[in-house]
Amino acid sequence: MYKVFVNDVPIILSTQENIGSKYTNIAIKKAKLKKLIGQIESGELTYLNLYHKNEQKLLKHLKRKLKVVVAGGGLVYNANQEILFIYRNKKWDLPKGKAEKGENIEETALREVEEETHVEGLKIVSFLQITYHIINRNDKYKLKETHWYEMKTNFSGELVPEISEGIKKAKWKDFEKTQKALKKSYANIKLLFPKEYLVQHPNDRVG
């Protein structure tokens, strides 16, 4: 099963033809994707399950319909176990950005975190997961595939938000402040955090 977010509403990609009575269940091959995304954006549709009996074909089919934008980002901890956040578009987010030609995805993630916050001394601890969300650029829908890594640093200098990318703030947040920030964040970002940080929204659950 996969979750592909349109704003904060997840489209479920699953092998099950029916995952609950509140869901609209459609075979992914028959789905009129652009129309369905538009219905989600307008609030007409909030629970959607696109299914195929072969799990391996779910994402492949979606990627044939939407151009893929590959990105990398980080869930970064400092020596005090605080987490690095950025503030953009009136939401708290994690630093991330698009891959550039010639770099691997780990290099992308490290570079983007550094560029967006001016943090230094980053080291990758582990791969977390890939998140998917649909973006609208010039009236064309694209699938953003973000590869996330847990990172650490002992950096204690000044954080500088990348203003040219629309970032207003870059902040370290402790456990309590992280919980508050996640209430003003994105649903796909919440997938990266340990459960103790989260207050779940009904749309974060399946069934």
Q: 94: closest CA among 107, 106, 81, 77?
A: 77
The CA distance from 26 to 155, in Å, is: 48
What is the per-residue pLDDT across 72-92, written as a single tens digit (0 to 9) for each? Answer: 999 999 999 999 999 999 999
Judge whether 26 and 33 are in contact, CB under 8 Å.
Answer: no
The CA distance from 12 to 32, in Å, is: 15
Domain that holds residue 56: 2-65
Residue 149 has pLDDT above 90, yes or no: yes
β-pair partners for 147: 72, 130
Q: Are residues 48 and 59 in the same domain?
A: yes
Match 């650490």 to its residue by tokens. 152
Q: Are residues 172 and 71 in the same domain?
A: yes
Q: Are residues 96 and 163 in the same domain?
A: yes
180 three-state secondary structure: helix
The CATH number given to whatever domain includes residue 164 is 3.90.79.10
Of the candidates 26, 47, 65, which is a domain's last residue? 65
User: Confidence band (pLDDT; 50, 70, 90) for 203?
Assistant: very low
Q: Are residues 49 and 76 in the same domain?
A: no
Total structural domains in the chain?
A: 2
Q: Higher pLDDT residue, 178 or 197?
A: 178
Q: Are residues 86 and 58 in the same domain?
A: no
- Residue 207 confidence (pLDDT): 40
Q: Are residues 42 and 77 in the same domain?
A: no
Q: Are residues 53 and 9 in the same domain?
A: yes
Q: Are residues 80 and 166 in the same domain?
A: yes
Interacting residues of 168 by C-beta distance below 8 A, sequence separation 6+: 87, 88, 161
Of the candidates 15, 39, 65, which is a domain's last residue? 65
Of the candidates 49, 65, 81, which is a domain's last residue? 65
Q: Are residues 120 and 195 in the same domain?
A: yes
**β-strand 2-6 against 9-14: which pairing, if any?**
antiparallel
- Residue 199 confidence (pLDDT): 59
What is the per-residue pLDDT across 39-54, written as a single tens digit (0 to 9) for each? Answer: 999 999 999 999 999 9
Predicted structure pTM score: 0.91
Q: Are residues 101 and 158 in the same domain?
A: yes
Q: Provide the 8-state DSSP code for 78.
A: -
Q: Are residues 198 and 145 in the same domain?
A: yes
The whole-angstrom distance between residue 47's C-alpha and the CA centroid of its chain comes to 18
What is the per-residue pLDDT across 98-110, written as a single tens digit (0 to 9) for each? Answer: 999 999 999 999 9
Q: Classify the phi-psi angles of 90: left when phi > 0, otherwise alpha if psi is within -120 to 50, otherwise beta.
A: left
Q: Are residues 48 and 107 in the same domain?
A: no
Can you spell out the DSSP letters for 7-57? TTEEEEEES-S-S-TTSEEEETTT--HHHHHHHHHHTS---EEEE-S-THH
